[in-house]
Amino acid sequence: MGEAITTRISHWTTKCLSYAGRLQLVSSVLMSMHIYWCSIFIILASVIKGVEDLCRKYLWHGMNSSSKGGLVNWSNLKKLSFWGITKPNDASWSWRQMVNIRSKIESFFVYNLGDGSRFSFWFDPWANGMSLVNRFPEVDIMDTDIDRTATVNSLWRNRSWHFPDPFDDYTLSIWDYIKRKFEINPLRPDKVLCKPHDDFSIKSSIMDKLHTRDKMLKWGVIHSNSCCFCNSKTETVDHLFFECDYSKAIWRKLLVDMNFNRDSYHWRREVSSLVRRTKGKSKIARDRKNTFCAAIYHIWRARNEKIFNQNLMKEGMLVALFVLVQL
Ligand SMILES: [Zn+2]
């Protein structure tokens, strides 16, 4: 996998890409290769780290640079919670993007309160899955006399909570809520766990984020949004993966292989139909899931091959590739 990514990065056309171009390549091609392999095999953590290193280096410096990323003033940053950082007007583009995706990734984490030394009192979602500022949106932090950077354990002494005198009844209700529901356990460190999500829902949201030509035309990056396979319809996710004759021919063959005797559906229906039929850990469920992921990945790859190298992969060849993948 590392080799495949290095080959892709070192191709001459990718060497002179701008930062925006490299970002596009990493998010649409390199990351989808990575996700594809991870959805089929259990990959060693060291391999994933290596791939992420490659992508990161390429994103920031291009291929031929050995320099490292810019250093972050960590001692300043670590006092703040990721969930509580406000977006300064002069923040870099990448920093603004990270701040923007917070609401989308919040539900992936579970904060288990232990000794309270790592969690931000106001901003980390340690209070039954929510942060205090979200649970009590009318609170004015300045009035409570508890600093924005305070950790949870700074309010705990001698086995009980010690809060400043409440400014009003609303603040008093917050202190009561915490006293009733939570305790600090000094012997157990705070833990942040990643919640498993249904992998199909993740994959379909990834597909929604693919930079198809309809979106790129809206951003003014390209001048035509027509599908590279049929040249007649607009390239949307629905069209590219399910409605175009090119993809339909692939699906028809694969649906027969998966013992579904029908034409392909609209893609959202296709995903929900597959979610229902691929539940469980049986071999057939696993094979169907793999086939679906492989089809999406290879159609996207064939599309990039056509656009960037003017090379049209025949549908039959793609189907043969899927079969090889599954052996
Ligand atoms: Zn088409």
What's the gap in Å between 247 CA and the centre of ligand 1?
8
CA nearest neighbour of 246 among 189, 316, 307, 199: 316
> 3-state class of 157 per DSSP?
strand
CA–CA gap between residue 307 and residue 304 (Å, rounded): 5
CA atoms within 13 Å, Cβ hemisphere of 223: 0
What's the gap in Å between 219 CA and the centre of ligand 1?
21
Model confidence, pTM: 0.43
What's the gap in Å between 195 CA and the centre of ligand 1?
37
Q: Give residue 174's pLDDT.
A: 92
What's the gap in Å between 15 CA and the centre of ligand 1?
29
What's the gap in Å between 22 CA and the centre of ligand 1?
26
What's the gap in Å between 285 CA and the centre of ligand 1?
29
What's the gap in Å between 319 CA and the centre of ligand 1?
18
What's the gap in Å between 267 CA and the centre of ligand 1?
14
What's the gap in Å between 28 CA and the centre of ligand 1?
19
Q: Give residue 11's pLDDT.
A: 67
CA–CA gap between residue 325 and residue 327 (Å, rounded): 6
What's the gap in Å between 315 CA and the centre of ligand 1?
13
What's the gap in Å between 293 CA and the centre of ligand 1?
20
Q: Give residue 195's pLDDT.
A: 62
What's the gap in Å between 142 CA and the centre of ligand 1?
57
Q: Give residue 327's pLDDT.
A: 45
CA–CA gap between residue 195 and residue 179 (Å, rounded): 27
What's the gap in Å between 242 CA and the centre of ligand 1?
9
Beta bridge partners of 191: 112
CA nearest neighbour of 274 among 247, 45, 107, 262: 262
What's the gap in Å between 234 CA and the centre of ligand 1?
7
Q: Under a CB-based contact definition with an 8 Å cutoff, are residues 71 and 35 in contact? A: no
What's the gap in Å between 18 CA and the centre of ligand 1?
29
Angle at 160 between CA 154 and CA 165, to 5 degrees: 70
What's the gap in Å between 33 CA and the centre of ligand 1?
23
What's the gap in Å between 216 CA and the centre of ligand 1?
16
What's the gap in Å between 228 CA and the centre of ligand 1?
6
What's the gap in Å between 231 CA and the centre of ligand 1?
6
Q: Give residue 71's pLDDT.
A: 47
What's the gap in Å between 214 CA and the centre of ligand 1?
12
What's the gap in Å between 236 CA and the centre of ligand 1?
9
CA nearest neighbour of 151 among 132, 168, 173: 132
Q: Which residue ranges of the chain lie beneath pLDDT 50?
A: 69-72, 74-75, 200, 327
CA–CA gap between residue 199 and residue 59 (Å, rounded): 26
CA nearest neighbour of 247 among 259, 264, 232: 264
Q: Give residue 153's pLDDT.
A: 92
Q: Give residue 224's pLDDT.
A: 85
CA–CA gap between residue 195 and residue 106 (Å, rounded): 10
User: What are the residue ranges of helices labelled H in 11-129?
Assistant: 12-15, 19-25, 31-40, 45-61, 74-77, 93-100, 102-105
CA–CA gap between residue 141 and residue 74 (Å, rounded): 24
Phi, psi of 304 (to 5 degrees): -65, -40
What's the gap in Å between 252 CA and the centre of ligand 1?
16
